[in-house]
Structure 1
């Protein structure tokens, strides 16, 4: 799939309003991109937004994030995470703040945060993959769904019906009904928020059926491992929540497991264990079983 030109984007976004990029992100990036960014200044900028600050501390202190110590302030968070990870997490939390007030999306964003944190844990155990990129993709990959819920009065009912369709991808069904889809909308949101191009394209491609045994010719080499991690994270999250699996897992599972170096028999055991024991977390299994 290629990037979308400006004219096509305007057509696909007709009737949608992309939330503006918050001032806190603009100022954060201005400081971050200086030759010698100041950590205290970065923390001061984030602290100017009480909602994002509180969400940041809550996120880092949550068990699923996997931090080894509790933090009490944004300044501690910057020192703990570093600039790159801080940037991606703050951007993700700003996206929630920009969308969450318009419709009741708390559960939606809770799921996104869980997938993001599982993705981050997986990436820490896969050579050459940025854990902050994996977190960002986990948070942003379905952000187009939030926008479609706001724009389309019948979308929630449509989504419930679409989840029972085992033959078509969600994006294909969206295209048939709305002449656009949440992956495309998410791509355009990420572009508007100046996300890295490989993250934007991964969002655009995340419902495509991909053979992870073959390289994505012509694409940034960072996209394929990020998509493999996302697919695994989504599946693990479905196991934890005992919910219906993401589309395409059955078809992709063998190539995803092989790509990440995980044995099929080993994974079948953890699937069974996670279904039977709610105390078995994805992070505990990842730390023990995934990696070089």
Structure 2
């Protein structure tokens, strides 16, 4: 696991209070340690936390899980998905619920969901990585931001000043201004909330992805692959957010050189794939807009 001198700051610096884990999650973790958790017992534990149960059920029925029919019973979902995947969904839903208590974060979660869905799709198209793991990283890659917003009154204005900056510049500016960057804080949150080591490392190392992919920074191959997928997903999402501005999609992508090299995808192939994703996203938004107007 990657270690960083920044890591302890999130715990020691009093303004940053990592959200408490719900009792249901802690109980399920203990049950998972038995090695043979019962699906019905997990479902019963979740039913005691109505909000979490509803959130998990909603998450189970999103397209990325790959289930063909709408699920109304979590015991059935566990049978179809397996305990490990269901636990990953529970963990993610619980953390999202907890972070959402820090304030109105609709736009934040919309952006995270977009990156997560892109990550899952890219994982399937370009790598052998588990799309569920890629989705989890996509949802949680900026999970330190809500806590920064809650604990630092000036952080919202700060975000506007660094909008569009590269990840390394953002990291340096955050450390100089607040004593920690949101990547390290996010990794600490993920670790406390039982996220796997490769997810925690990928969150923490976003600002150093080029060094990670050239092996200058040590971490697992799984973390490297998921981080590569995340960087590409963020690239597509970022371009889409400024889609109607002038943007030259024939750029040589120098900032993505190491990412594409690591996963073995030529520039031209990625550019074509990116155009396909952008076209799909435009059409989806148009369809959603038309549906709302008709409704």
TM-score normalised according to structure 1 size: 0.81
Determine helix, strand or coil for the equivalent of 1:72. Answer: coil
Q: Which residue is equivalent to 1:181? A: 181
Q: Which residue is equivalent to 1:203? A: 203
Superposition CA RMSD, Å = 3.0
Change in CA separation of 1:58 and 1:173 when aligned onto 2, cut-off 3 Å = same
Task: Say which structure is richer in helix.
Answer: 2
Cα distance, 1:171 vs structure 2:
1.3
- Counterparts of 2:258 and 2:34 in 1: how far apart (Å)? 41
1:156 partnered with 2:156 = yes
Cα distance, 1:3 vs structure 2:
3.8
Q: Which residue is equivalent to 2:265? A: 262
Cα distance, 1:7 vs structure 2:
5.7
Determine helix, strand or coil for the equivalent of 2:69. Answer: coil
Q: Which residue is equivalent to 1:279? A: 283
Cα distance, 1:126 vs structure 2:
5.5
- Counterparts of 2:128 and 2:64 in 1: how far apart (Å)? 22
- Counterparts of 1:18 and 1:211 in 2: how far apart (Å)? 28
Q: Which residue is equivalent to 2:221? A: 221
Alpha-carbon contact 1:273-1:280 (below 8 Å) kept: no
Counterpart mapping for 1:1-292 below 5 A: 2-4=3-5, 8-11=9-12, 13-63=13-63, 66-125=66-125, 129-165=129-165, 169-210=169-210, 214-215=214-215, 218-242=218-242, 250-276=253-279, 278-279=282-283
Summarize deviations over 1:67-98 as a string: whole Å, max 9, x none.
43322232232222212221122111111111
Q: Which moved more, 1:62-71 or 1:81-90?
A: 62-71
- Counterparts of 1:75 and 1:216 in 2: how far apart (Å)? 45
Determine helix, strand or coil for the equivalent of 1:169. Answer: helix
Alpha-carbon contact 2:60-2:71 (below 8 Å) kept: yes
- Counterparts of 1:7 and 1:63 in 2: how far apart (Å)? 37
Cα distance, 1:144 vs structure 2:
0.6
Cα distance, 1:44 vs structure 2:
2.0
Change in CA separation of 1:205 and 1:7 when aligned onto 2, cut-off 3 Å = closer
Unpaired runs of at least 5, structure 1: 282-292
Aligned length: 277
Summarize deviations over 1:14-52 as a string: whole Å, max 9, x none.
211110111111111122221321111112222322222
Unpaired runs of at least 5, structure 2: 286-295
- Counterparts of 1:195 and 1:276 in 2: how far apart (Å)? 33
Alpha-carbon contact 1:47-1:74 (below 8 Å) kept: no
